[in-house]
A and B are shown apart, each in its own frame.
Chain A
Amino acid sequence: MLAKRLIPCLDIALGRVVKGVHFQNLRDAGDPVEVARHYEEEGADELVFLDISASHEGRDTMLDVVRRVAEECYMPLTVGGGIRSVEDATRLIQAGAEKVSLNTTAVLRPEVVSQIARRFGSCATVVNIDPKRVPLPEVGGPDVEASWIGPAASWAGYVVPLSAHRPGQVWWQVHIQGGRAPTGKEALSWAREVEQLGAGEIILTSMDADGTRNGYDLEMTRAVAGAVGIPVVASGGAGTPEHLHAALTEGLADAVLAASMFHFQEYSIAACKRYLADRGVCVRL
């Protein structure tokens, strides 16, 4: 049986692991190679590296980080942040990344998602989606109206009537550029669109929950995971093993991503896996 995955996420700035709240107030959390090796020993199923420095200097440093980690660790690596072209993706994959993840570029130039999928396969093509809850205006715009009343999504025998989950108060607006820029895109329809473009996986980060450690946005995770046929990784808000469990069961996520919860060693990955296994979730032990 395919195991649910636990994925530590390492935000990388200028060759160091950093962690902040709501993408701000960054704190140093160590050397990427050391952190990666530690997670491999603990039984992490994959690693995600996000380059948040978004500069030319940062990108070269990132390639070096990927190369060094791929040499030290025998586990799959997804790299995102600042990928603007097939060439950028090629360099990262040749450096040792298993998958590359697009966010801002996917929104601004969706054809790049398709180009990478054609070149390296859907399996290597990941799209990050960063939605934020936005109050619905008194008189909703036609786009919003059409998408949130959209058809019920079903998956794994669950039926998720979207309108029932979001009775008109909020919608999930996709943000780019590290959460700074709203796009006007609605999360579910964008998720379906990136699947059509050739993405093989979605990392779904709730901007509202990210860094709070109060739990994933289960409602949104469940809606997006039910709307697409590709794996969805829940991200943003993990603080306890209970949160991981909720995202993998109630949230229908295929994998859970967490950063600070693991970085500051409050919970080990091994302990989280045992917690999940004790509750009937299939994990690799």
Chain B
Amino acid sequence: MAVVIVDYGMGNLRSVQKALVRVGVASEISSDPRVAAAATGLVLPGVGAFKDAMQRLKASHLDEVVRQHLAADRPFLGICLGMQLLFASSTEDGSHPGLGVLAGRVIRFPSVPGCKVPHMGWNTIRPGQPPGPWHDLVEPTWMYFVHGYYCEPEPNPSLSLLLCDYAGVSFCAGLARSRMLAVQFHPEKSQGAGQYILHKFATLC
């Protein structure tokens, strides 16, 4: 099986699998680190708490599988918590280390009058500089977000960012580096617009 959706007990994976089928990618849902290690493409989804998710990844040795997969520059798609986990640490419920693939941290949105947290609903995304693979994004593109914390990567010219504005912050809504893609929003829940991201992943696989 070429593409594996990593199942580490953090939510619903069927909609991700179904959405991938729409862009022509067949995938297997697996919690087995050996199956994941053999995958050419890996999808890391996830909802829930950062700390809990890291513990589950570690307990099943999937953390090492993800790191090695990325070190080998194989196709990867992180979704929501699956993007946040790539970073060095998160301040959600204390301070917790992540996979440490990317320098930076995951922090909570500031309290701003009129901006409720979690950031919940549809918002528009735009490419950062350099646009990299996001150069063909048609604006406005609406994506579905549901998160109280966001990724703050350390400045890195090799990362091509997608940006979104909320609570006075232009935050990192997505990133790409070589064959690694990760997004904060849910492409599998973003109706037609979500296919833009899934298609990018499909072309890497």
Contact = CB atoms under 8 A, between A and B. Distances in A.
Chain A bound to chain B? yes
Interface of A: 1-5, 40, 45-46, 67, 70-71, 74-76, 93-99, 118-124, 154-157, 200-201, 229-232, 254-255, 284
B188 A74 contact: yes
A156 B113 CA distance: 5
Interface string B13-49: 0110011001000000000000000000000000111
B92 to A, nearest CB: 9
Contact of A229 (B19, B111, B123): B111
A76 B12 contact: no
B196 interface: no
Interface of B: 10-12, 14-15, 18-19, 22, 47-49, 52, 81, 111, 113-124, 142, 144-148, 165-166, 186, 188-192, 194
Contact of B118 (A1, A75, A120, A122): A122
A96 B12 contact: yes
Contacts of B52: 118-119
Contacts of A118: 49, 52
7 contacts: A3-B122, A76-B146, A98-B186, A155-B113, A201-B118, A229-B111, A230-B118
B113 A231 contact: no
A70 B12 contact: yes
Contacts of A121: 47-49, 81, 148
Given A45-B121, A76-B186, A157 B113 contact: yes
Given A98-B189, A155-B114, A74 B120 contact: no
A75 B12 contact: no
A231 B121 CA distance: 10
Contacts of B165: 1
B18 A123 contact: no
Contacts, number: 119
B15 A45 contact: no
Contacts of B48: 119-121, 124
Contact of A157 (B14, B47, B114): B114
Which 4 residue pairs are nearest across A and B when measured between Cβ atoms? A156-B114, A284-B122, A123-B146, A231-B116
Given A121-B49, A229-B116, A95 B191 contact: no
Contacts of B146: 76, 98-99, 123-124, 200
Given A2-B122, A74-B18, A121-B48, 11 more contacts: A5-B121, A74-B194, A97-B12, A98-B186, A121-B49, A122-B148, A124-B11, A124-B146, A157-B113, A230-B117, A230-B118
A40 B191 contact: yes
Contact of A123 (B115, B123, B147): B147
Nearest to B13: A94
A99 B18 CA distance: 19
Nearest to A3: B122
A255 B11 contact: no
A95 B18 contact: no
A208 to B, nearest CB: 25
Contact of A75 (B18, B114, B148, B189): B189
B148 A76 contact: no
A96 B116 contact: no
A199 B150 CA distance: 19
Contacts of A67: 14
Nearest to B46: A121
Given A74-B15, A119-B48, A230 B121 contact: no
Contacts of B111: 229
Nearest to A97: B12
